Amino acid sequence: MADTLTITDNRTGKQYEIPIQDGTIRAMDLRQIKVKPDEFGMMTYDPAFMNTAACKSRITFIDGDKGILLYRGYPIEQLAEHSDFLETSYLILFGELPTETQLAEWSRDITMHTMLHENIKKFLEGFRYDAHPMGMFLSAVGALSTFYPDAKNIFDAESRRLQMVRLIAKVPGIAAYVYRHNIGRPFVLPDNELSFSGNFLNMLFKMTELRYKPHPVLERALDVLFILHADHEQNCSTSVMRNIGSTHVDPYSALAGAAAALYGPLHGGANEAVLRMLNEIGSMQNIPAFIKRVKAGEERLMGFGHRVYKSYDPRAKIIKRMADLVFEVTGKNPLLEMALELERIALEDEYFVSRRLYPNVDFYSGLIYQAMGFPLDMFPVLFAIPRTAGWMAQWEEMLTDPEQKIARPRQIYTGSAPRDYAAREKRR
């Protein structure tokens, strides 16, 4: 028997057989359900896309109940243990782990594109000294579209690959320049002898030494954090990337929009918000009162809860282990004790347990970033760097999917019925 869903419309007594595929029915199949032939037909109403699949994807798999995250089928734990960010970004973008030759070519391509046009520097210099790094980052990424007008050739596979390379190669430079601008230090050129993360640290932290040598533990920790943040299926910013990309605009403009979505405190801005929350709580003795306010709905426990994960976020587990390694080098972040105590209470408290609220990726990542010397407002930028790989992979998949079209949701209109324009003097 075919997998179908039988719907009876009590208004007409008519029955409809709706095919089920992959545990899903097609919303368009509901359009046939109508009382009169000239009616629009049945729609689904799903604010915030709680239960709507907007695409088919082969990139990332999440099982939120079991706490499983796979990139192209590979468990995140294995990638965090054995891979590095450039290899993982290749996997995410092209579907398979690269051979030695492919990886060498990919790494060379990326290093060949790390330099930024001098005018990008000038552009960044125009920002105020205290501009939020994420505002600068997303503006600079958007501005790149004007430097690479060839990026408009979105149906040329070679051109798409070039833009992927350019973006992945250049976002660390933009992030580093943004940081140096804020602290009033000169921009540092990329050092292509270093790894992707090592070079990023170089562009951020190099002072007067002739050659910057990244600390291997911090370099690896940053690389692992990049692996963990590289993709996360159809989250808000990725959906924005796909939505904007569906208009066929160039990928720089679409990515600026995705970065703007990431900026929000409910998304990539959460790691920054976690640290602000810990600072505000201030000390261990204030934790019970804080938890009380959270349970009363007056506050949110930032870094907790997730739309998809209803168990411990697998990335948070890896980050927690990473934090120990980093703190051995940098010294313990004094906020760690408070974070651990919040987690301990939340994992036992009925409010959090019944709502299945567990630490997410942002709960511990900020503590590591802070220990490594990053100011709080750089945190979302550190999220955007690796997520660029995921955004580009999802953009490519969307563009090459014959089922996709310009994204355009429907609405249920709840406004006025038609009425006549009233002259100004007659309005009350």
Ligand X SMILES: CC(C)(COP(=O)(O)OP(=O)(O)OC[C@H]1O[C@@H](n2cnc3c(N)ncnc32)[C@H](O)[C@@H]1OP(=O)(O)O)[C@@H](O)C(=O)NCCC(=O)NCCS
DSSP string of 240-272? HHHHHHTTT--HHHHHHHHHHHHHSTTTTTHHH
What span, in angstroms and rounded, lies between the C-alpha atoms of 313 and 272? 18
- DSSP codes, 44-90: ---GGGTT------SSEEEETTTTEEEETTEEHHHHHHH--HHHHHH
Residue type, 127: F
Q: Which is nearer to ligand X, 124 or 270 (CB)?
A: 270
| Selection from 369, 320, 361 nearest residue 201 by Cα | 369
**Phi/psi zone of residue 360: left (φ > 0), alpha (ψ -120 to 50 degrees), beta?**
beta
Is 267 part of the annotated catalytic residue set? yes
Q: Is 132 a catalytic residue?
A: no
Query: Is there binding between residue 180 and ligand X (CB under 6 A)?
Result: no
Among the listed residues 160, 229, 306, 387, the single contact to ligand X using CB under 6 A:
306
Q: Kindly name the residue from 229, 231, 306, 377 that is annotated as catalytic.
A: 306
Select the residue interacting with ligand X from 168, 255, 357, 384 (CB under 6 A): 357
Per-residue contact track with ligand X, 243 to 272, x per CB under 6 A? -----------------------x---x--
Query: Is 254 within 8 Å of 245 (Cβ atoms)?
Result: yes
Nearest residue relative to ligand X (C-beta): 305
**Distance of closest approach, residue 309 Cβ to ligand X, in angstroms:** 8
62 pairs with which residues across the strands?
69
Of 175 and 275, nearer to ligand X (C-beta) is 275
What is the spatial distance between Cα 386 and Cα 168, in angstroms, rounded to a whole number?
8
Smallest distance from ligand X to CB 301, Å: 4
Q: How far is the CB of 311 from ligand X (least distance, A)?
A: 13
Are the CB atoms for 103 and 87 separated by under 8 Å? Answer: yes
Whole-angstrom CA distances from 107 to 85, 92, 141, 225, 397 are 10, 15, 21, 19, 22
Binding segment toward ligand X, per CB under 6 A, in 185-193, 208-216, 238-246, 300-308? 300-308
Residue in 301, 316, 342, 382 binding ligand X, rule: CB under 6 A? 301
CB distance 27 to 17 below 8 Å = no
108 vs 293 by CB, closer to ligand X:
293
Contact status: 360 vs ligand X (CB under 6 A)? yes
355 is a site residue for ligand X (CB under 6 A): yes
Write out the binding residues for ligand X, residues 270-289 only, by CB under 6 A: 270
Q: Measured from the CB of residue 376, what is the shortest distance to ligand X in angstroms? A: 15
CB of 369 to ligand X, least distance (A): 15
Give catalytic status of residue 109 as yes or no. Answer: no
Cβ at position 366, least distance to ligand X in Å: 10
Taking the C-alpha atoms of residue 92 and residue 5, their distance in angstroms, rounded to an integer, is 35
- Choose, by CB under 6 A, the member of 121, 152, 300, 317 that binds ligand X: 300
- 422 burial level (CB within 10 Å; 0-12, 13-18, 19+): exposed
Stretch of 283-291, 321-329, 358-366, 396-404 contacting ligand X, by CB under 6 A = 358-366
Residues 6+ apart with CB under 8 A from 4: 17, 18, 19, 20
- Secondary structure element (H or E) that encloses residue 16, with its range: strand 14-19
Tokens 């690959």 found at: 161
What's the closest the beta carbon of residue 296 comes to ligand X, in angstroms? 10
By the rule CB under 6 A, 302 interacts with ligand X: yes
Q: Which stretch binds ligand X (CB under 6 A): 54-62, 125-133, 191-199, 360-368?
A: 360-368
Binder to ligand X among 200, 304, 374, 383 (CB under 6 A)?
Answer: 304
Choose between 69 and 86: whose C-beta lies nearer to ligand X: 69
Query: Among 231, 250, 313, 362, which one carries the catalytic annotation?
Result: 362
307, 310, 317, 332: which one contacts ligand X (CB under 6 A)? 307
The site for ligand X, by CB under 6 A, has a size of 16
Q: Per-residue b/e over 267-293, b at no fewer than 16 CB within 10 Å? A: bbbbbbbbbebbeebeeeeebeebbee
**172/303 with CB nearer ligand X:** 303
Candidate residues 305, 314, 380, 386; the one interacting with ligand X per rule CB under 6 A: 305
Q: Contact between 294 and ligand X (CB under 6 A)?
A: yes
294: three-class secondary structure by DSSP: helix
Strand order in the sheet with 74-75: 60-63, 68-71, 74-75
- Given the rule CB under 6 A, which residues bind ligand X? 266, 270, 294, 300-307, 355, 357, 360-362
Q: Which residues are catalytic?
A: 267, 306, 362
